[in-house]
Chain A
Amino acid sequence: MNFWNVSRKLPMLLATSALLLGIPAAATAYASSATTGTGWIRLAHLSPNTPAVDVYLYSFGNSSAMIVLHHVAYGTVSPYESVPAGDYSVAMRAAGASATSQPVLSTSVTIATGHAYTVAGLGPESGLRLQVLEDKLTTAPGQAEVRVIQASLKQQVVTVTLGSTVLASDLKFASVSDYQPVSPGTQSVTVSSSGGDAHSSVTLAVGTVHTLVVLDGASGLEVVNLEDASGMGKPPLGGVTTGFGGTAPHGPGSPVPWLAAIAAGCMLALTGGLRLRRNRQLHAGV
C-alpha cells in the first residue's frame, strides 16, 4: 500500500475507529448555557435623580427590540434574561417615549456563552452613563461572594462593612467594588458616610454571589441585597443511579440451543437417509 492509498483511507479509518470505540457526541461536556449557547443579562436603573425610563435590548443590527422594560424607576434591577450569546445594544428612553425616538443613552454589550452581565444606568442625570458590569457566577468552595454598587447621590462617599469585613472603603458615587469572598451566614451590614450610618442585615447562603446596592431611600441610605447567582454548597459527586433495567432492550439470546437442535436434526436426517438408502440397496440386491 503506497502513501497515497494510506492517506486516502486514513480519514475513513479514523471515522471507523471512532465508531468502533463508541465515541458519542454526548460525551462532550456542555454547560447548561453552553448547550444552548446562551448568556444572561439584566438591566438596572441606579441614577438617583433620573426619572423613570424605558429600557430596550436589541440584538445587534436588529431594529426591533428583543426585550423592553417599561417605566423602570431608580433602584429597579430586572431579573436576568437568558439570551443567545452575541452582540447587543441597550438603549434608554424617557418612560413612555416612542420606541422609534432617539434614545437618551445607548451602549453595546457582548454577551459570552455562560457569562452574566448587568447593564446599569449610573451617575447623576447630568452625567448619566450606561455601564456594563460582568457579574460573577462562582464562589470558592464553602464561601459566598459580595460586591457593592454605590448609587447614593446624597452621600457621595461610603464605606460598607459586612460583620467585621470591609467590603468597600471610601467608595465614590456611581462606582462599583470588586467581588470578594466572605463567610456565608446572616450578618450585619453597615454603610458609613459623612451624613451618618445605616444598618441592615443580609443572609448570604453558601455558594451564592451577591451585589449590595447602596441607594438613596426616602429617609436616608438603603441597602438592597441582589442575588447574582446561586450554585449549591455541596454539589453531588457524579451522576445518579436511577434505573434497574426493567425496560432496557434485551440483547439477542444465545444461538447455542438452536445450533444444537440443527445439528441433532442433521444427525437424525442423515441416519434416516442412510438407512433408507441401505434398505433400497438391499432390496435391489435380492
Chain B
Amino acid sequence: MPTRRPAAALALAAGLVVIAGGTAGLLLTRHSTPAMRPVAAGVSALPAPTGSIVAPPQSAAPRPVAAPVSLAIPLIGVQTQLITLGLTSAGELQVPSSTSVAGWYTGSPRPGAIGPAVIVGHIDSLTGPGVFYRLPELRPGDKVYVKRADGTLVEFRVTSVQTYLKDRFPTEDVYGPVPDPELRLITCGGAFDAATGHYLSNIVVYATAVS
C-alpha cells in the first residue's frame, strides 16, 4: 500500500520531534528558577539624609528622644515612613499591612534611646519586592538613619546580620536588654514554604547608634 508510506514516515518523524521536544523540556525545567537578585550595591542608591545628628549625651542626664518617623538606608535604596506597630492578641509582633513601608514596635525603645529599638518590614509581596527586599545585603559598618518627629536624625552602624529559623528565633538575644542605643531591623528570609505561604527564617540586622 504505497499510499500509506508517507503517512507512516510522517508519524515516525513527528514522533522523533516530540521525543526531542519532550527531552529538551524536561532538561530545561530540571533547573530551579533562581530568585530575583538585585545587582550588588556598589554605589549609594540614595543620598544620606540630612538633619542634625544628636550624639548620645556624655553627661549623666539621659535626654528624652522623639518618636521615629522615617527610616533611610541609602546603600540599599530604602527610604520609608515608619508606621507604628503593636503586638497581636497572641503576643506576636504585628507587621505592616503594606509591604512597601516599615514599622516601629511602640513597645520597644525609641531609636536613639537606650535599648533595642525594633523596626520590621516585608521582604516581598505576592508579586514582587517589599521594603526590606535588600536587607540581607547589609554588612557590618553599613549606615542606617532614623529621622524623628523633632527633625533630628540618629545614625546607626550595622554590627551584625543574622539568619534565624523562625521556630528557633532567639527572642532574648534580639529583644533582650542592652546598655546602649541599638536597632534591630527584621524581615523574612531563608527558604520559602509554598505549602504554608511563609518563609522559614527571619533575617535580623543588628545596629548600634554612632556616638
Contact = CB atoms under 8 A, between A and B. Distances in A.
Interface of A: 24, 26-27, 29-36, 38, 40, 42, 69, 75-82, 116, 135, 137-139, 207-209, 213, 224-253, 255, 257-262, 264-273, 275-276, 279, 282-283
Nearest to A258: B26
A116 to B, nearest CB: 4
A40 B180 CA distance: 8
Nearest to B165: A27
Contacts of B15: 264-273
Contacts of B2: 279, 283
Contact of A272 (B14, B35, B170, B187): B14
Contacts of A269: 11-12, 14-16, 18-19
A230 B175 contact: no
Contacts of B105: 232, 236
Contacts of B184: 32
A231 B87 CA distance: 16
For chain B, give the interface size range.
35 or more
A32 B174 contact: yes
Contacts of B22: 258-262, 264-265
B160 A32 contact: yes
Nearest to B122: A242
Given A230-B113, A242-B130, A75 B99 contact: no
Interface string B30-49: 11111110000000000000
Nearest to A249: B35
B126 A229 contact: no
User: 5 closest A-B pairs (Cβ-Cβ)?
Assistant: A269-B15, A272-B11, A230-B115, A265-B18, A272-B12
A246 B168 contact: no
B160 A36 contact: yes
B160 A35 contact: yes
Contact of B125 (A137, A244, A270): A244
Interface of B: 1-2, 4-5, 7-23, 25-26, 29-36, 56-62, 87, 90-93, 95, 99, 105, 107-109, 113-116, 118, 120-130, 132-133, 140, 159-160, 162-166, 168-180, 182, 184, 186-189, 192, 194, 197-199, 201-202, 206, 208, 211
Given A238-B92, A261-B22, A282-B1, A245 B11 contact: no
Nearest to B59: A76
Given A237-B171, A276-B9, A252 B180 contact: no
A251 B11 CA distance: 35
A258 B29 contact: yes
Contacts of A273: 8, 12, 15
A80 B179 contact: yes
Given A227-B114, A245-B192, A261-B25, 5 more contacts: A137-B178, A242-B130, A255-B26, A261-B21, A272-B8
Given A26-B162, A32-B206, A230-B177, A243 B8 contact: no
B31 A243 contact: no
B159 A35 contact: yes
Contacts of B11: 268-269, 271-272, 275
A267 B124 CA distance: 46
Nearest to B93: A236
A234 B59 CA distance: 29
Nearest to A118: B179
A40 B179 contact: yes
A283 B3 CA distance: 12
B3 to A, nearest CB: 10
A242 B121 contact: yes
B116 A232 contact: yes
22 contacts: A30-B173, A36-B206, A79-B56, A80-B179, A80-B180, A225-B60, A226-B62, A230-B109, A230-B114, A232-B115, A235-B107, A236-B175, A238-B171, A239-B169, A242-B120, A243-B124, A243-B130, A245-B124, A248-B192, A262-B26, A265-B15, A269-B12
